[in-house]
Amino acid sequence: MFSAFLLASIYTATPYTNQDRLPLELIPVRVVDSIDYAKMFEGDIDREKNGMPLRFAQPTEVSITPATHGIWERLQDNKMRWTFSVFCDNALSMNLGFANYNMPESGSMLIMDETSEMQIRPFTSDDNKDHGQLWTPIIPSNQAVIEIIVDKADKHFVSKSIELTAINAGYRGFKKLEGRGSSGACNIDVVCSQGDSWWDEIPSVGVYTLGGWWTCTGAMINNTAEDFKPYFLTANHCGVTSSSDASIVVYWNYQNSYCRVPDSGDSGGNGNGNLSQFTSGSTMRATRSYTDFTLTELSSSPNASWGITFSGWSRSSSTSGVGAGIHHPSTAEKRISFPDYSSASGEYWNVNWNQGTTEPGSSGSPLYDSNHRIVGQLCCGSAACGNDSNDYYGRSISLSWTGSASSSLSSWLDPTGSNAPYLDTYNPASAPVGACCIPAAGTCIDFSQAVCISGGGIYQGDNSECATTDCQLYVGACCIEATQACVAVSEITCNAGGGIYQGNDTACADIDCFAPACPSDINGDNTTDVSDILALVAAWGSNDVNADVNGDGVINVSDLLIMIEAWGPC
């Protein structure tokens, strides 16, 4: 239930060392076409002119399964290993798409570079999603190795349930440090002092890939229930649809570790951001070309340890002064820009920049008003370092608020029906915490109210402490007839297991769950009659528990009187 709060990392050690693996030259490989850089860059100019999202990779469609490709090996402990490799001679990065991914509980899949030093965290059965797809983060190399380890008994299942369908060879952005590319020198790193007052909003913004070969920016956005629903706002023209939504991979906290002085060579050079934090897959909830917005719900919440926040929003027709834009220009490290002015113009905000700018890759990024609330997302424009051109942000929050659920925002961002004109950013790290009783687990953990409730807990109030909270008040005796047992659990857990809950704060020691419903019915025919009298007389004076109607340890006249009083059907 609280898996969203467990720590995880993209890079991980494996139970098998490099020495245990086959030499690279023995691993079957699929070689994809070399990248024609001149042709790709020429095409990118046309794509930008036509308002299309930034492309960073060359896609190749394939159909590769463990049944048709690769090599299987026997390992110790009754395990099997399947290995396969993909390669592009002049690529800067590689990423993969699996149209079919259904991993059994015994299995795990690693994606790594040719040295095995760079490894994406293991994908397991926890990554099985309803849409059945899996899209991976990039490997900053021209070769990627796939390794699946599974119980021998599940080898046949894996051979049918895993299918690699897309190999994407990267030619810009998302690549090795020495050649990853950068954004314009006039941009401002979010870690610079200019961003100091925006750290509730900065972690909500992420750069993402879609289909493994084009990319935009978006932001996690709060809703009136403040229930950690992983809604991600971006631009309609970026291409997140009901058929492409599963292929999204969002990268979090991808930013430079220090402030590069704006307009310096350093600021215009390579950054040192880390791509180790990612979320894969989503379900598109609402989209509309008018105001150019898309809202998609990520398939899982970002790891709590990453500190991701949920930006607030405003439905106002004014930005109330100068706000900010937070974005990933050219898929590079996260930057922050500040308008000279922003004004409403039809379905767009007309924005001119005073500090910083935007670039391809910034599309879909949020525009904030002076109150740090999202008012729209980047649609288009020709702003760049070296010019004073304007950008245009779709006024989605105000102009696409009402309507059908599939083309408006209120159904998703206002599930409580509050009709709120605005909502502030939610930062889980800064929210008050208190004792959270989790009956299902029989424990108490200090959490914020929203986290507690979203996990099925019972919040005890801000600043309350588990050390002084008796969570046993929410646990009681549960009679489980199937096993003739009594256990102390919550009412929810008891009912879910088919038990009969005896009430909060009851104890099994004080309850006889399976005492006969009719103690005077000695022979068990659901009637107290002559046959029971005869059985009692036969046991007279003994301590036969079956005939001891009142349970005092002896069969005597007291038992007879109870029997006469209970005469008839039970």
Residues of the domain holding 495: 476-510
Among 423, 439, 465, residue at a domain's last position = 423
Q: Are residues 109 and 256 in the same domain?
A: no
Q: How far apart are CA 317 and CA 346, in angstroms?
A: 11
- Indicate whether 522 belongs to any domain: no
Question: Does any domain span residue 159?
Answer: yes
Residue 515 lies in a domain: no
* Residue 487 and residue 501 in contact, taking contact as beta carbons nearer than 8 Å: no
pTM assigned to the model = 0.76
14 and 159 inside one domain: yes
**Has residue 216 been placed in a domain?**
yes
Please check whether residue 120 is in contact with residue 275, taking contact to mean a CB–CB distance below 8 angstroms.
Answer: no
401 with 284, same domain: the answer is yes
394 and 259 in a single domain? The answer is yes
* Contact between 222 and 415 (Cβ < 8 Å): no
Triad 556, 560, 566: Cα angle to 5°: 150
Mark 134-170 as b/e (b = at least 16 C-beta within 10 Å): bbbbbbbbbbbbbbbbbbeebbebbbebbbbbbbbbb
* CA–CA gap between residue 469 and residue 434 (Å, rounded): 10
Query: From the CB of residue 269, how many other CB atoms can be counted at a distance below 10 Å?
Result: 11
Looking at the fold, whether 401 and 463 belong to one and the same domain comes out as no
Q: Which of 381, 405, 423 is the last residue of a domain?
A: 423
196 is a domain residue: yes
Locate tokens 């060579």: which residue?
Answer: 265
Same domain? For 415 and 447 the reply is no
In terms of C-beta density within 10 A (0-12 exposed, 13-18 middle, 19 or more buried), how is residue 61 classed?
exposed
∠ CA 62-68-69 to the nearest 5 degrees? Answer: 75
* CATH code (residue 373): 2.40.10.10
Q: What is the pLDDT of residue 456?
A: 74
Inter-residue contact 215 to 331 (CB < 8 Å): yes
Instruction: Catalogue the active-site residues.
Output: 237, 292, 363
pLDDT values of the chain reduced to their tens digit, one per residue, 570 residues: 333 332 233 334 445 555 588 899 999 999 999 999 999 999 988 888 888 889 999 999 999 999 999 999 999 999 999 999 999 999 999 999 999 999 999 999 999 999 998 999 999 999 999 999 999 999 999 999 999 999 999 999 999 999 999 999 999 876 554 545 578 999 999 999 999 999 999 999 999 999 999 899 999 999 999 988 999 999 999 999 999 999 999 999 999 999 999 999 999 988 889 888 999 999 999 999 999 999 999 999 999 889 999 999 999 999 988 899 999 999 899 999 999 999 999 999 999 999 999 999 999 999 999 999 999 999 999 999 999 999 999 999 999 999 999 999 999 999 999 999 999 999 988 878 899 988 766 688 888 887 787 677 888 999 999 989 888 778 888 998 878 888 888 787 788 788 888 888 888 888 878 766 678 888 878 888 988 889 889 888 888 878 888 888 889 988 888 888 888 887
pLDDT of residue 16: 53
253 shares its domain with 200: yes
Cα(42)–Cα(335) distance, rounded to whole angstroms? 26
CB 72 within 8 A of CB 81: yes
Question: Is 516 contained in some domain?
Answer: no
Same-domain check for residues 272 and 372: yes
230 found inside a domain = yes
d(CA 324, CA 338): 5
Q: Are 209 and 262 part of one and the same domain?
A: yes
**Do residue 66 and residue 210 come from a single domain?**
no
Domain boundary among 423, 444, 461: 423
Strands 249-251 and 143-151: unpaired
Q: Are residues 106 and 224 in the same domain?
A: no
Q: How many domains, the chain?
A: 5
* Residue 7: predicted pLDDT: 28
Question: Does 16 reside within a domain?
Answer: yes
Ranges assigned E (strand) in 235-386: 249-251, 278-280, 282-288, 293-298, 312-314, 324-327, 335-345, 348-355, 366-368, 373-381
pLDDT of residue 3: 33
Determine the straight-line distance between the first and last CA of the chain, rounded to whole angstroms. Answer: 44
Residues 6+ apart with CB under 8 A from 88: 31, 32, 33, 34, 35, 58, 94, 142, 143, 167, 169
Can you give the pLDDT at residue 327?
97
Q: Tell me how crowded residue 243 is: count the other CB atoms within 10 A of its CB.
A: 11
The rounded distance, in Å, linking the Cα atoms of 76 and 139 is 29
If asked whether residues 389 and 240 sit together in one domain, one would say yes
The residue count of the chain comes to 570
* Strand, helix or coil for residue 4: helix
